[in-house]
A and B are shown apart, each in its own frame.
Chain A
């Protein structure tokens, strides 16, 4: 109940913000939504299906270029964003079919390589992409429509994850994460499901990439395929809690605020401080803020997953099986 209240209040705040907030607050929130969308998409394949990887920025970048080229050709930025989302999915389909045969570090690093391949394409095909010069777009006069589009995508992904977490489809993804052979044995159609999850996880990054290009009214390979975008997203998910409904949201909020505070005060060493903060979080709350809070029965923090709530009622139980009696 309290959790619903917190979420409701947050939604209302988000809705009135563009009309009362300053330009600075507005652009801070726009970036926040970009990361919410990226974090939830990554959480789907990395957190739920257990296929963590460092290549999500490939979809972001390809989406950014698809969108930028379409806007350059005169299409509305919303149409461009939709096409960019589709481009992410179309790229993910063959990529998933090929890459999801391998797991663990091989998949994670392989995807990182794919992002670098995409980046060098953007640099190399300069007759289309303008190479390192980048593509300049007409700036949007009003940020509000962009703001609400991104807010809708972010909210949609939170709701989708909440729905997934309470569904049998979510159970199947978790089964793949825990033990793919066991999932196979239970009749889970693992290949189809993980490729599906991978494709879905590429749609929002594609669309958001295009919207980000609209927001910046500029895109170049360094911005579109920035490894920093990738690492920040993953750090946010880890910080909040991988494979949970509200973990990514809390991770994005916490890290964005910390980033912003540190960046303005200690511009030279802020990244080092962020690194130290992440290190301590991983050491002390390896399962993220959400699990940490759930154990401490802070019921106003929405955790959603039924079993996590039950977990909260029995603090500090071991997840590992005990020896047979």
Chain B
């Protein structure tokens, strides 16, 4: 395990799934402060399932989830949110019939009725996301997919989290906007946020990340610096849809260091 001391969010041997089918099998991952970490892997590798367990949206069968060292394995999502773990789900998740402002306010509901604080947070977020400025009264459903993703990210920042987990933020976006979103996530990590994203667009995501985890059939098969993963031949072949013999053997064995 690398740097579990500095890890803000950690999965320790987490096994979970749907019904009685295990999708993630004893996966361990550590997400360190101020870094962008990508969790990559092919379809059905268990990436989304693993981070849903981290956000508390899925019950963990065995293993532990830790936030700043505290065991939160059995905590409900709203409690994890108050510990600073924010989650941006996959797909279209803004409320299309509501304005940009209402969407943002919804993100802050957990803070209670402090209007002053909400206004200040919205102002701060508009500086971070200029695309939202001046569109406060626009209906969220009338914005482009990329703008909606920006709104979803901004909304999850309303509570001032320290960890932002994103499930496929690039889904359905044009290549240009994918880069804009990834660039924004880098910028956010520069302001002190820990960013964790699950991505299908593996090499694109890794090129914007500090670290990465590669999952295959529910297990973590590689972890390390993003650059090293990008240079790893087995990982590259995995992106192309092949399953190298080494990885096939690995899912039974230990995590390799890239």
Give me the interface of A with B, judged by CB distance under 8 Å.
168, 171-172, 174-175, 178-179, 181-182, 184-189, 306-307, 310-311, 314, 317-325
Question: Are A186's CB and B107's CB within 8 A?
Answer: yes
Contacts of A185 in B (CB 8 A): 55, 57, 77, 81, 86-89, 156
Question: Whole-angstrom distance between the alpha carbons of A186 and B111 in the complex?
Answer: 11
- Chain A CB within 10 Å, residue with most, of B56, B78, B106, B113: B106
In the bound assembly, the distance between CA atoms of A235 and B44 in angstroms comes to 42
- Nearest-neighbour CB distance to chain B for A190, whole angstroms, equals 9
Complexed CA–CA distance, A314 and B113 (Å): 30
Q: How far is the CA of A307 from the CA of B100 in the complex (A)?
A: 10
What is the distance, in angstroms, from B2's C-beta to the closest C-beta of chain A? 28
Contacting pair A171 B98 (CB below 8 A): yes
- A24 CA / B141 CA spacing, docked (Å): 47
Interchain nearest-CB distance for B247 vs A (Å): 30
Q: Which of A182, A188, A310, A317 contacts B93 (CB 8 A)?
A: A182
Closest residue on chain B to residue A311 by CB atoms: B139
B139 proximity list for chain A (CB < 8 A)? 307, 310-311, 314, 317, 319
Identify the stretch in B18-26, B169-177, B207-215 within 8 Å (CB) of chain A at 4 or more residues: B169-177
* Size of interface on B: residues with Cβ below 8 Å to A: 43
Min C-beta distance of B171 to chain A, whole Å: 10
Contacts A182-B93, A189-B76, A307-B97 given; indicate if A324 touches B173 (C-beta within 8 A): yes
Contact A325 B144, beta carbon cutoff 8 Å = yes
Q: Count CB-based A-B contacts (< 8 Å).
A: 107
In order of increasing CB-CB distance, the 5 nearest A-B pairs are A324-B145, A187-B81, A185-B87, A187-B78, A187-B110
A321 touches B92 (CB 8 A): yes
Which residue of the partner chain, among A174, A187, A318, A324, contacts B98 with CB atoms under 8 Å?
Answer: A174
**B165 to nearest A CB, angstroms?**
9
- Inter-chain contact B141/A319, CB cutoff 8 Å: yes
Contact check, B109 vs A172: say whether CB atoms are below 8 A apart: yes
B98 touches A321 (CB 8 A): no
Question: Which residues of B lie under 8 Å from residue A174 when comparing CB positions?
Answer: 95, 97-98
Nearest CB on A from B16, distance (A): 15
Expressed in whole angstroms, the minimum distance between the Cβ of A232 and any Cβ of chain B is 27
Q: Are A179 and B89 in contact (CB under 8 A)?
A: yes
A186 cross-chain contacts in B, Cβ below 8 A? 81, 106-107, 109-110, 155-156
**Binary contact readout B67-106 vs A (1 if CB under 8 angstroms, 0 otherwise):** 0000000001110011000111100111111110010011
Q: Which residues of A contact B177 (CB under 8 A)?
A: 324-325
- With A185-B87, A189-B78, A322-B144 in contact, is A168–B95 under 8 Å at CB? no
Q: Say if the beta carbon of B127 comes within 8 Å of chain A.
A: no
Shortest CB distance B152–A (Å): 8
Instruction: Judge whether B28 is part of the interface by a CB distance below 8 angstroms.
Output: no
